[in-house]
Amino acid sequence: MLEFTPLAGPFRAADAKGKQREVESVEQPKAVAYLVEIDGCRILLDCGAPEDFVFADAPAAPEDAAHSPELAGTLPEILARIGKTIDVVLLTHAELSHLGLYAYARAHYGLVGTVYATLPVQTMGRLVMHEAVRAWSSEIDVGASGRLLPTEAEVDDAFDAMRTLRFLQPTPLDGKSAGLVLTAYNAGHSLGGTVWKLRSPSVGTVVMALDWNHSRERHLDRTALLPSAHTPFGEMRSVDAIGRADVLITDIERGLVTNAGRKDRDAALLDRVHQTLQGGHSVLIPVDSAARLLELLVLLDQHWSFAYQHQRFPLCLVSATGQEFVERARTFIEWMSREWAAQLLADDAGKGRRRNRQGPALKSPLDFSFLRYFATVDALRNAVTPSQPKVVLAAPASLTHGPARSLLADFLADPDALVLLTGRGEPGSVQRTLWERWNAHQSDPEAWRRGKVGAPAAIGGQLTYELRRRIRLTGEELRAHLEREQQAKEHEAQSRAPVRARPQLEADEDAAEASESDSSDDDEPAVGHEAHRLLLSTRDIAPERLAAADAQQEVSFDIFLRGMAGRAPMHGAPEHGAYGAGVHYRMFPFVERKRKVDTYGEAIDTGKWLSRRRRLETEQEDQLDPTRHAPADEHLRVAQPEPPSKFVVEPMRVAVRCHVMFVDMQGLNDGRALKMLLPQLQPRRLILVNGDAPTNADLYAMLSALRGFHSELFLPAPGATVRIGEQTHSYSVKLADTLLGPAHWSMIEDYNVMPIRALPDFTTDEVPVLVRDEHAAHDVERTAPTTLYIGDLKLSALKTQLARQHRIRADFAGEGVLVCDGAPSLGRKASDAMRSVTVQKESSGRIVIEGNLSAGLRRIRESVYDLYAQVHQ
């Protein structure tokens, strides 16, 4: 049985099974996560977070929806309850909306299940998280902000624990998910973006396709949901086909949007950028740090190489991980366009010939010779003058924080500058505000939904937002901070120090006098005073270490004083007060180390000799090369704690004088692709997610009118569970030799099937053995044999088989109806009723063959039987 539950999404969706209500869907920041349960195995599909890592309150659940209390609330609350029960985690894209919460959940919610992702998603996802952590840490106090933001160490630990897969690599799962086979396919949209295919013995084929792109781009091929008809070399390529899914899970967020043509979109973007630069002004393009950045860089680099070969206008990328992202992307050429991969292979094959001729090597598509990298905004301003025309790509795209938010005020104040938006942004963000104002100034506000590219507009007005930054403390603030820090350390040391117990030792006067006669009276006061001074100075230097040691041992070590000094009363006590409660002086404990002696005498500690040898070798190497530790010293300087600083929030109210333009560069499917491709995929069961109420109503009306979709179509709301199939159990058994002797196997897809009548034998301690059931065998001999037909008839395959083997013509007459030429020998004079034989496939799986009794009817019937796996019982 399969249970599917959306845990979070971009909309508060409608009811399950498409029963729409007159309600409005409320849009919220996109952070997707889905729970898939197959026969007791829990699979978490994606674990996203908003750009600001703040989760809003969960929406109210529909009254008639089957909600589990365990799966109610916000995504962090749900993961806190079920994180430890997750067996497998699947990550789809290297975007915050798909993996932003994964590292935090692994560190705090016990999400330690096996994690699968492609190698680019692991690498680029790590960079995306590092970019977000560094940007937010430089603007806010993460601990006091309430944002679920992990540390960089937690990010590295989480992404190091991933298991990376390649496309088309079947991977059997283990543990509780044993029996499931996982395969990754190309999804488009982002580098390494994945469509997951899961084969289950009980449910069948489950395909999970989120944020896929049906169009080919400059650096990525289209999704594998629709395989290419031919390879670049003209050969058929069907090995990468996903095939028909028993359960297809896909998103319909853009179900009412039609994408603009790629040529129109790119031409509008480049033309406006060119006009702005030629006018002596700059362009700001807010971008994400990984997923869609590469497509923009390839587009702009090609334009720069054609139009600005002399580097008149700088092309700048402001991102803490931008340069590392491009360097890592160069190692993933085989994950990108097939044309690029073929070009790279041809380049490698011809290196020998070019070496002999000393010819130039081919340029890689990712060698951005015109791109300049800057880690901070200050580095950009120091290198490029503000008045110089330039194009700046800054992260993040939503303008919620980071370099893009810091640079926004400089561009808004220039009347001829351009702010180019490549997406709508999250609700409430600065990007969404600019987009809404731009859309309001268009002649047709709905044009962007109909595949049109809008025009730039001077939106005017005021824009209010907060500019957060972190600055170092200086002067009186620094002095006051250091004093408070020192007082806090002293208070902590005093609070952690253990309470002194009463002394348990009593001085022996005779022994004290004897020891006093052996020592010198002149040296004793000096030695005692010096030891006391050293002890007190050491306690002041390292109170934390001493307090920690006392907290662990809870043992008091006191100096033994001679004579009546140890029994002196406390200061301020009565004259005849209790003795033994005087002042005690702290000293370090002494542990007597005994020599280890075995049968042959004293044991030699070889570790001391080895450590002495290593020390001598190190000293010798330092004398030969004194500068060999320079990098280590530099690393130590970098690893030192940061100077004291404070977070400052500056309210910004800027007049919007620049031009704003929106060009959709998201690289996602649209409504036209969904309505054309979903019927072609022909899934047996379809689950649609991430749609608002109008989108759900539109697609439900369209798909329910198609035969085979009306009873197997689900649109679950966040928190509602869809149940498909029945609960099944699988067990491991062995087959006895008596069963395998007269076996007659039948092939069905990738499996060999055979009916058996057997009983389990539990005499062995290991796996039970199935032996032949003799009583059932005698009963079968008395009854007539039956045949079981297993499989799924495809009318297209039947049409091909009739044409090849029997030369019978067949045509489709409607949805699920095939009309065949049942009497070809009668000639043209025969009527259509005499000639036609119809094969109809009903939604319940029943095959109906209708026609007049003839040889053609017999051949068609036999062809139908041949397409099934026949199991004789």
pLDDT over 70 (residue 708) = no
For residues 567 and 583, what is the distance between their CA atoms, to the nearest angstrom? 9
Q: Is the dihedral of CA 324, 193, 116, 77 positive or negative?
A: positive
pLDDT band at residue 233 under the 50/70/90 scheme: very low
For residues 250 and 708, what is the distance between their CA atoms, to the nearest angstrom? 18
Reduced to 3 states (helix: H, G, I; strand: E, B; else coil), residue 869 is: strand
For residues 200 and 180, what is the distance between their CA atoms, to the nearest angstrom? 5
One domain, residues 271 and 178: no
Reduced to 3 states (helix: H, G, I; strand: E, B; else coil), residue 167 is: strand
One domain, residues 771 and 846: no
Alpha-carbon distances of 539 from 126, 533, 549, 672, rounded to whole Å: 44, 10, 12, 76
Instruction: Provide the residue range defining the domain that includes 385.
Output: 262-456
Task: Confirm if 131 and 319 have CB atoms less than 8 A apart.
Answer: yes
The model's pTM = 0.73
pLDDT over 50 (residue 336) = yes
pLDDT over 90 (residue 380) = yes
pLDDT band at residue 123 under the 50/70/90 scheme: very high
Q: Which amino acid is at 840?
A: Q
Q: What is the DSSP letter of 297?
A: H
Poorest-pLDDT segment among 178-182, 483-487, 540-544, 607-611: 540-544
| Angle subtended at Cα 53 by Cα 50 and Cα 56, rounded to the nearest 5 degrees | 75
Q: Is the dihedral of CA 660, 663, 664, 666 positive or negative?
A: negative
Q: What confidence score (pLDDT) does residue 633 get? A: 47
pLDDT tens by residue, 318-329: 999 999 999 999
pLDDT band at residue 434 under the 50/70/90 scheme: very high
Q: Is 790 exposed, middle or buried (0-12, 13-18, 19+ CB in 10 A)?
A: middle
pLDDT over 60 (residue 505) = no
pLDDT band at residue 59 under the 50/70/90 scheme: low
For residues 413 and 408, what is the distance between their CA atoms, to the nearest angstrom? 9
Q: What is the DSSP letter of 588?
A: -
Q: What is the DSSP string of 168-213?
A: T--EE--GGGTT-EEEEEE--SSTT-EEEEEEETTTEEEEEE-S--
Q: What confidence score (pLDDT) does residue 617 get? A: 79
Q: What confidence score (pLDDT) does residue 191 get? A: 94
Residue 617 lies in a domain: no
Q: What confidence score (pLDDT) does residue 518 get? A: 47
Task: Confirm if 64 and 108 have CB atoms less than 8 A apart.
Answer: no
pLDDT band at residue 656 under the 50/70/90 scheme: very high
Q: What confidence score (pLDDT) does residue 124 get? A: 96
Alpha-carbon distances of 178 from 728, 731, 749, rounded to whole Å: 14, 11, 20
Consecutive H or E run containing 838: strand 836-841
Q: What confidence score (pLDDT) does residue 520 get? A: 41
pLDDT over 50 (residue 74) = yes
Q: Is 403 exposed, middle or buried (0-12, 13-18, 19+ CB in 10 A)?
A: buried
pLDDT band at residue 47 under the 50/70/90 scheme: very high
Averaged pLDDT, 457-476: 89
Q: What confidence score (pLDDT) does residue 529 get? A: 46
pLDDT over 60 (residue 811) = yes
pLDDT over 70 (residue 542) = no
One domain, residues 251 and 268: no
pLDDT over 80 (residue 589) = no
Residue 504 lies in a domain: no
pLDDT over 60 (residue 805) = yes
Q: Which CATH number characterizes residue 416's domain?
A: 3.40.50.10890
Q: Which CATH number characterizes residue 51's domain?
A: 3.60.15.10
pLDDT band at residue 175 under the 50/70/90 scheme: confident
Q: What confidence score (pLDDT) does residue 743 get? A: 62
Task: Confirm if 189 and 668 have CB atoms less than 8 A apart.
Answer: yes
Task: Confirm if 753 and 835 have CB atoms less than 8 A apart.
Answer: no
**b/e burial code for range 286-312 (CB count within 10 A of at least 16 → b):** bbbbbbbbbbbbbbbbebbeeebeeee
Residue count of the chain, please give it. 873
One domain, residues 771 and 857: no
Closest by Cα among 320, 330, 397 to 123: 330
Residue 470 lies in a domain: no
One domain, residues 104 and 247: yes
pLDDT tens by residue, 179-189: 899 999 999 99
For residues 482 and 761, what is the distance between their CA atoms, to the nearest angstrom? 77
Backbone dihedral angles phi then psi of residue 495, each to the nearest 5 degrees: -70, -30
pLDDT tens by residue, 759-790: 888 776 677 888 877 765 555 555 555 667 77
One domain, residues 158 and 233: yes
One domain, residues 361 and 239: no
- Beta strands of 552-644 (E only): which ranges? 597-598, 601-602
Average pLDDT of the chain to the nearest whole number: 79
Domain boundary among 456, 486, 513: 456
Consecutive H or E run containing 324: helix 322-329
Tokens standing for 27? 């849009």
Alpha-carbon Rg for the chain, nearest whole angstrom, is 38
One domain, residues 45 and 175: yes
Poorest-pLDDT segment among 243-252, 355-364, 525-534: 525-534
Q: What is the DSSP string of 332-346?
A: GGGGS-HHHHHHHHH
Domain boundary among 441, 456, 471: 456
Residue 268 lies in a domain: yes
One domain, residues 277 and 337: yes
pLDDT tens by residue, 268-319: 999 999 999 999 999 999 999 888 999 999 999 999 988 887 768 999 999 9
Q: What confidence score (pLDDT) does residue 227 get? A: 63
| Angle subtended at Cα 758 by Cα 752 and Cα 761, rounded to the nearest 5 degrees | 115
Reduced to 3 states (helix: H, G, I; strand: E, B; else coil), residue 857 is: helix
One domain, residues 403 and 285: yes
Domain boundary among 724, 753, 772: 724
> Which value, to the nearest 10 degrees, does the dihedral of the CA atoms of residues 796, 800, 801, 805 take?
160
| Angle subtended at Cα 262 by Cα 256 and Cα 266, rounded to the nearest 5 degrees | 120
Q: What percent of the chain has pLDDT over 70?
A: 72
Averaged pLDDT, 121-143: 92
pLDDT tens by residue, 412-421: 999 999 999 9
Q: What confidence score (pLDDT) does residue 182 get? A: 95
- pLDDT greater at residue 626 or residue 833: 626
One domain, residues 277 and 166: no
Q: What confidence score (pLDDT) does residue 726 get? A: 66
One domain, residues 716 and 826: no
Paired with 734 in beta bridges are: 769
Residue 859 lies in a domain: yes
Residue 295 lies in a domain: yes
| Angle subtended at Cα 704 by Cα 701 and Cα 705, rounded to the nearest 5 degrees | 85
Q: What confidence score (pLDDT) does residue 176 get? A: 86
Poorest-pLDDT segment among 13-22, 26-35, 82-91: 13-22
Q: What confidence score (pLDDT) does residue 478 get? A: 85
For residues 689 and 696, what is the distance between their CA atoms, to the nearest angstrom? 9
Backbone dihedral angles phi then psi of residue 176, each to the nearest 5 degrees: -65, -20
Residue 569 lies in a domain: no
Q: What confidence score (pLDDT) does residue 532 get? A: 45
- Beta strands of 396-461 (E only): which ranges? 418-421
* Among 228-242, 497-511, 596-610, 810-824, the range of highest mean pLDDT: 810-824
Q: What percent of the chain has pLDDT over 90?
A: 42
Q: What is the DSSP letter of 321?
A: T
Closest by Cα among 6, 135, 134, 133 to 72: 6
Domains in the chain, number: 4
Intra-chain end-to-end CA distance of the chain, in Å: 27
Consecutive H or E run containing 647: strand 645-655
Task: Confirm if 285 and 391 have CB atoms less than 8 A apart.
Answer: yes
**b/e burial code for range 80-94 (CB count within 10 A of at least 16 → b):** bebbeebbbbbbbbb
Q: What confidence score (pLDDT) does residue 345 get? A: 66
Q: What confidence score (pLDDT) does residue 103 get? A: 96
pLDDT over 90 (residue 806) = no
Q: What is the DSSP string of 231-263?
A: -TTS-B--TT-----SEEEEE-TTTT-BPPPHH
Q: Answer whether the bond into residue 396 is a cis peptide, omega within 30°.
A: yes
Task: Confirm if 758 and 770 have CB atoms less than 8 A apart.
Answer: yes
Residue 72 lies in a domain: yes
Q: What is the DSSP string of 733-763?
A: -EE-HHHHTT---EEETTEEE----EEEE--
Consecutive H or E run containing 567: none
For 128, other C-beta atoms within 10 Å of its C-beta total 27
* Among 63-72, 365-374, 560-569, 832-841, the range of highest mean pLDDT: 365-374
